[in-house]
Copies of this chain bind each other. A is one copy, B any other.
Amino acid sequence: MLTERQGLILSGIIKDYTQLGTPVGSKALANQLPFHVSSATIRNEMAVLEANGLIEKTHLSSGRVPSINGYRYYVDHLNLSKVNTMDDLAVIHKALDMNYHKIDELVQHSANILSDLTNYTALTLQPEQATSRRLKGFRLVALGDQNVMAILVTDNGDTETAQFKIPTGVTGDQLESVVNLINDQLVGQPLSVVLKELKSKIPKEISKYLRSPDSFIDTLDQVLTRATRDRLYIGGEMNLLSFTDQSNISYLKPLYSMLNQSGEISKYLGHSDHGISVQIGSEMSNKLLRNYSVITGTYDVGQYGKGMIAVLGPTRMPYSKVITLVSAFREEIAKRLLGYYKENK
């Protein structure tokens, strides 16, 4: 445990280093601290911090740089000041204040705003869907030449489609019966239930109208699976360029690929039921993320599941500011989604 002064010195080092990006020395720091001691005293305290593994030197006679542990200590124990981000909050409110037709628009838009506010990369994950989303409607549209398009609508305003070929000899009336059957039996059910029924009860029922319902069931299954997968949105991926230092620029491509590989990055987002999780540099298991930090906020939409909003930035990041922002978004999104669900129940 650090003394109060040591804490202030650590905070000072982190603040300076975050702003300037160069190792910070005892003299420069002495002039900025809220109390007066000489640089020699700072040096002594710095030696203690270094012994505790909270700061590091880049070479024997250089200034100090926060270590991963230093950031961690800062985030866990020192980051108490609520930064005044009223301006940012106003921006969030205003930017989110438009009419959304679909949930994914809101979630996607949030990623963009958050990346603009931070100049980092923002990731958002829609609330888990398999259990919370419900089937709202099922339709078929004939495309001609035995091709039919199946359309599935869920309660959050998403649609998924798939094409399939119907066997020869199936009439329009038969198809209509099947559509009615599915709408009657499954509309209003959570997608997870729909998936289950699709493999048990439904095939039998359908076989009343269709001789070989397999291809039909397969298509539906495929659409449902697609509808329930994670939906990740990325905002400001190009900001990666600005905050990745030259030496790591060769990692950018694989990192970018990973971000765009469906479901890949979400494995590494921090989980924290009580709100915000902070992962710093090498704390992350993925090699590509070792030189970055991720602030993840989990938002809870009650029975509709949990989603995430995260910022990917450099380890040298103004943690307090970003944490406040993610926190604000987290609450704001949850509020608006709950509102949305209430309205479209």
Contact = CB atoms under 8 A, between A and B. Distances in A.
A163 B149 CA distance: 20
Interface string A143-182: 1110101010101010101110000000000000000000
Contacts of A149: 136-137, 153, 157, 159
Contacts of A287: none
Interface stretch (A35-43, A248-256, A276-284, A291-299): A248-256
Given A101-B162, A163-B101, A241-B253, A139 B141 contact: yes
Tell which of A136, A141, A145, A149 has the most Cβ of chain B within 10 Å: A141
A257 B241 CA distance: 13
A75 to B, nearest CB: 29
Interface of A: 101-102, 136-137, 139, 141-145, 147, 149, 151, 153, 155, 157, 159, 161-163, 238-239, 241-242, 249, 252-253, 256-257, 343-345
Contact of A144 (B101, B141, B145, B344): B344
A257 B235 CA distance: 11
Contacts of A155: 143-144
29 contacts: A101-B162, A102-B163, A136-B142, A136-B144, A137-B141, A137-B142, A137-B149, A139-B139, A139-B141, A139-B151, A143-B153, A143-B155, A143-B344, A144-B155, A144-B344, A144-B345, A145-B344, A147-B343, A149-B153, A149-B159, A151-B153, A151-B159, A153-B161, A157-B161, A157-B163, A238-B256, A239-B253, A241-B253, A242-B253
